[in-house]
Amino acid sequence: MSDEILDYLVIGAGPAGLQMGRHLKEAGRAYLIVEAGPGAGTSFTVFPRHRTLISSNKPHTGSDDPEFNLRMDWNSVLSDDPDLLFTRYTDEYFPPAREYVRYLEDFAKASELRIAYGTRITSVDRDGDFVATDEHGVTYRARRVVSATGVAQRPNVPPIEGIELAEQYATVSVDRRDFVNQRVLIIGAGNSAFETAENLIPTAAVIHVAARTGVKLAWKTHYVGHLRAVNNNFLDTYQLKSQNAILDGAVLKIERDGQGYRVAFSFVRADEIVKEIYYDRVICATGFRFDAEPYIGGAAPKMVIDDRFPEQTSEFESSSVPGLHFAGTITQQRDFKHGTSGFIHGFRYGVRALHRILERKYHGVEWPGTEHAGTPEAITAAILARVNRSSALWQQFDVIGDVVVADGDTARYYEELPVGFVHDQNFGQGKDTFVVTLEYGPDHDKVDPFDITVKRTRQNDAGAAFDAAYLHPVIRHWRGGEQLGEHHVAENLENEWDKPAAHVEPLVKFLAAQLT
């Protein structure tokens, strides 16, 4: 056991852990990253199973603005080093996972981070400070713990009778030749299920995907965890009658039947009729859950969402264990199946926000901001300049926002605060506070963007901005916990909110009225 008491013990050296480590190092904090695997980004040596990422990689945007370019780069970890961008590693839009492992290893080395590899934490408890013990019996003491382990250690197994007979996505063979002429059932409706189905189309005789809640398409819902177009070729094989199908219903029971399995379904769209179907293989691809087992005693967090995630405050802190914070995909508990905190291009901004929260809470470092004149014109210029290039507001729509605090002749502009944190902390302390977000309309997931028979809000139409379904800026005025006004900036096809009549003048008018 070391006599050192760390400010922060960071568990996990994936993208979130590495970025947090870099922030802590730059701030001069006493930290250590512990990683179970032999190198950075160990989980990416296994997942996704078919070795192609579905996170966009677009090096060529036509812009030389690094902030804007991060909108199209879904893989880079945030730093101030332009050489540490993933877009330098490959031009592939959906890049190979091996390149991402190489990138994370290079990031860790270039950042000269303090990392203990081959260090699997088996227990985390607390006796005032946190005490973590690894598999070798070595203990580490820290005032605070940041868990950045992801959720891929444990599969999320649904409560189906006989589910133990199914093969798991994490371990099932990815060699399609092992499935020649077989009838295969895949349980799940997300990208892992359809990624698996896609791989088996050329060899399996029949593939059924059991989607209890139906299939949701990411291009329609704007939640990137729903089915992505790169994985939906299977839908063609279903609708064009190529022996495959999506079963909209619940799997009730799995029984062994000779060399195969007999599976009972209750079909949602057929009045809950129960039917039994025979399969040679059953694969469970229903996602993962946070592994809370090492957290014991006073460090055991309260779990939510069917015990899949630790419940968190707007400071990404356990609701039941003060000082236990979370970073990375675990933080999707805060915006589950709505925002992008479950993905690198979303949680990287959450990690930066968490670091600023920790600095403010424990080290007396105020949130960075810039000063502007307190006039409606100056505030409008600052807001529109940000929404036209910000990557954080773009990627973390409705979850992370900028905040303008107006105080007489001056206004302070703060970037990238979690919206929940702003309200919980009464950020602005009773002054005129404007929260700036990018948001879709409330019914955006019910709008078919390819249906030309449905009239939509006209581009650059300020009068119809409140009805906009597409991504657009929203500015809300708060004072002392009370919302006093709300303004929507009109849609624009190319997301350039700079037209004098459509965008600038209406916002100036709104701010002038609110500041009167």
Query: What are the per-10-residue average pLDDT scores of the chain (516 residues)?
Result: 86 98 98 98 94 95 96 97 96 97 98 98 96 97 97 91 97 97 97 96 97 90 92 93 92 96 89 91 97 97 97 98 98 96 98 98 97 98 98 97 96 98 94 97 80 71 86 96 96 95 97 96
Domain containing 401 equals 369-515
Residues 23 and 107 in one domain: yes
Distance CA 55, CA 305 (A): 25
Residues 138 and 9 in one domain: yes
Q: Residue 256 maps to which CATH number?
A: 3.50.50.60
Model-wide pTM > 0.85:
yes
Residues 277 and 301 in one domain: no
Residues 95 and 56 in one domain: yes
Distance CA 68, CA 311 (A): 32
Task: Tell me if 92 sits within 8 A of 69, measured CB to CB.
Answer: no
DSSP letters spanning 364-381: --PPPEEEEE-SHHHHHH
Q: At what angle do helices 15-27 and 344-363 cross, to 10 degrees?
A: 30
Q: What is the DSSP letter of 503?
A: I
Task: Tell me if 217 sits within 8 A of 226, measured CB to CB.
Answer: yes
Residues 228 and 348 in one domain: no
Instruction: Say how many Å lie between the first and final Cα of the chain, rounded.
Output: 62
**Strand 309-310 with 129-134, pairing:** unpaired
Question: Burial of 210 by CB count in 10 Å (0-12 exposed, 13-18 middle, 19+ buried)?
Answer: buried
Q: What is the DSSP letter of 78?
A: P
Q: How many domains does the chain have?
A: 3
Distance CA 321, CA 184 (A): 44
Residues 74 and 136 in one domain: yes
Angle, CA of 20, 23 and 27, to the nearest 5° = 140
| pLDDT on residue 456 | 66
Distance CA 309, CA 363 (A): 28
* Other C-beta atoms lying within 10 Å of the C-beta of residue 239: 11
Q: At what angle do helices 15-27 and 97-111 cross, to 10 degrees?
A: 10
Residues 445 and 334 in one domain: no
Residues 147 and 161 in one domain: no
Question: Burial of 237 by CB count in 10 Å (0-12 exposed, 13-18 middle, 19+ buried)?
Answer: middle
Nearest residue to 190 (alpha-carbon basis) of 160, 163, 214? 214
Q: At what angle do helices 376-387 and 505-515 cross, to 10 degrees?
A: 130
Residue at a domain's end among 341, 363, 385: 363
Cα–Cα distance list, 105 to 44, 94, 344, 348 (Å): 11, 20, 16, 17
Strand ordering across the sheet containing 249-257? 249-257, 260-267, 273-279
Distance CA 317, CA 314 (A): 7
Residues 10 and 146 in one domain: yes
Return the amino acid letter for 211: A
Residue at a domain's end among 235, 263, 284: 284
Residues 438 and 375 in one domain: yes
| E-only strand ranges, 115-205 | 115-116, 121-127, 129-134, 139-147, 154-155, 167-168, 183-187
* Torsion of the alpha carbons at 417, 33, 17 and 293, rounded to the nearest 10: -100
| pLDDT on residue 461 | 85
Q: What is the DSSP letter of 199?
A: H
Residue at a domain's end among 246, 264, 284: 284
395 Ramachandran zone, left/alpha/beta (phi>0; psi -120 to 50): alpha
Residues 222 and 338 in one domain: no
Residues 166 and 210 in one domain: yes
| pLDDT on residue 20 | 98
